[in-house]
Amino acid sequence: MELLAASLLRDLVSAVTQGDAEQVELLLVRGVPPDVIDQAAGWSALHAAVLHNPQLLKVLLAFARSPDAPEVMGGTPMSYVLHELGEAASPARRDELLMALASLLAAGASPRAGGVDQTPLELARLYRLRDIESLLSEAGQ
C-alpha cells in the first residue's frame, strides 16, 4: 500500500477513535475506505468505531464495501460488539453496542462471519446473551 493511502487510513482510524465526525466525513468523501485495515493499528475504522465511538458506525458503514471485514487477528466488527457485550457492559454502553449491532445487521453483516475464535452467533452463546443469540439466529437465516 502506498505511503499516502496508509497515512490516510491511519488518519481515519484516529479520527474515529477521537470522535471527530467532521474529519471522518472528510476522509470518507475523499475515498478512504473504512473497512480496510490500518496496519499500524491492526484494525479498521469500523472496529475503532465499535470500541470507541459507535455513533460513527452508521456513516462508516455507508462507505464500507464489507461490514464483515476482519482485523489482523480475524475478528469482525460484529465479533467486537459481542465481546464487549459479553464483558458486562454498563447499561449505557450496552445501549450503544445494541445500536452498533443493529447498524451492522442493517448493513448486511453476517452473524456467521468467521472470527479468530468464534463467530458472533457463537459468542452470543458463549456469553449467554440469549436475547442477542435469538436476534442473530433470526438474522442469519
CATH code of the domain in which 87 resides: 1.25.40.20
Q: Mean pLDDT, the chain, as a whole number?
A: 92
- Given a contact cutoff of 8 angstroms between Cβ atoms, the answer to whether 93 and 59 are in contact is no
pLDDT for position 108: 95
User: Mind listing the pLDDT tens digit for each residue in 19-62?
Assistant: 999 999 999 999 999 999 999 899 999 999 999 999 999 999 99
pLDDT for position 141: 58
pLDDT for position 140: 66
pLDDT for position 115: 63
Range of the domain at 131: 3-139
Half-sphere exposure of 19 (CA within 13 A, CB side): 5
Sign of the Cα pseudo-torsion (20, 101, 131, 87, in order): negative
pLDDT confidence band for 95 (50 / 70 / 90): very high
Residue 39 three-state SS? coil
Cell numbers linked to 132: 442477542
The domain total for the chain is 1
- Asked whether the whole model's pTM tops 0.85, one would answer yes
- Given a contact cutoff of 8 angstroms between Cβ atoms, the answer to whether 46 and 70 are in contact is no
Angle at 92 between CA 135 and CA 139, to 5 degrees: 10
